[in-house]
Amino acid sequence: MNVAEWILVIFLSVALLVFLILGIVLLAKLIGVTKEVKKIVIKGQDIADSAGDVVDNVKGMTSIGGVVKSFADKYTNQKEKEKRDGKKS
């Protein structure tokens, strides 16, 4: 082999080594980022579930149906309590 071929082989070997090292580092960083994204997604789902519960509570208290339902629940709970205790309040 002449000198030009050796220079070309060394250049390509060094380039391959650099790209291999960069690929390994990039893969390691990508794995770390995906773990952080997974944590963020889980936290977001928890926040969305909590917000849904709050909306349901507010909707139940502000609508007429919710108010009637709460009074009906209190009335039925009072009747059940009277039956269990055997006395009237």
Q: Give the model confidence (pLDDT) of 24-76 as tens digits.
A: 999 999 999 999 999 999 998 888 888 777 777 776 666 666 667 777 777 77
| pLDDT for the residue numbered 10 | 96
**Largest separation between any pair of C-alpha atoms in the chain:** 110
Could you tell me how far CA 69 lies from the centroid of its own chain?
33
**What is the per-residue DSSP string for 7-60?**
HHHHHHHHHHHHHHHHHHHHHHHHHHHHHHHHHHHHHHHHHHHHHHHHHHHHHH
